[in-house]
Amino acid sequence: MDLVSLALEIGFSHAAELEPARLRALPEVRDMCAAGRCQRYDRSWSCPPACGSIEHTQERMHRYTGGVLVQTTAELEDEFDIEAMAAAERLHKAHFMTLARQARLLCLDCLPLSAGSCTVCRSCSYPDRPCRFPKRMLSSMEAYGLLVSEVCTQAGLRYYYGPKTLTYSSCVLIKA
């Protein structure tokens, strides 16, 4: 499966192959989740602690043999261009939903890891009821303990594309 070509066709700004064996689930990243950096810790089935221990996420990522890192880069008017930031986030999420759906159709066992907590439902059923769509749920790269800048370097992509830009990154791991 040529995930890089598929990602570029969908409309991502950048895409490159990933080696799952090199991915590291870092406790420091989990600490940032627990510190409430994005306010989603213990509020979604897709996030820690519900998505599993750091040992579990590392082991799960290493079961895969191939993957793709995808990025959406926005040009901003200035560093306060909230509108362009929000538009880029919406575009990245929409494109990633498409990529994840297609990857799941083409490869029954794959692991899409998004930018940010799962937004499949308007309001997550956590913790009172089970996840409504476990087959569509999207955990984030950070929830799995990944330092996004490190993964970008591993894939040969930049994490930062210069002043007045903002980049969202996500990945899909597959059994190639």
Write out the residues near ligand SF4 by the rule CB under 6 A. 44-46, 118, 120-121, 124-126, 131-133, 136-137
φ/ψ region of 146 (left if φ > 0, alpha if ψ in -120 to 50, else beta) reads beta
Q: How far is the CB of 149 from ligand SF4 (least distance, A)?
A: 26
Q: Which residue lies nearer to ligand SF4 by CB, 46 or 169?
A: 46
Of 64 and 126, nearer to ligand SF4 (C-beta) is 126
Residues ≥6 apart with Cβ < 8 Å to 59: none
Long-range contacts of 132-136 (CB under 8 A, 24+ apart): 134/45, 135/104, 136/100, 136/101
Minimal distance, residue 57 CB to ligand SF4, in Å: 15
Q: How far is the CB of 100 from ligand SF4 (least distance, A)?
A: 12
Which one, 14 or 93, has the nearer CB to ligand SF4? 93
Among the residues of 38-134, which ranges form H helices?
A: 54-61, 82-106
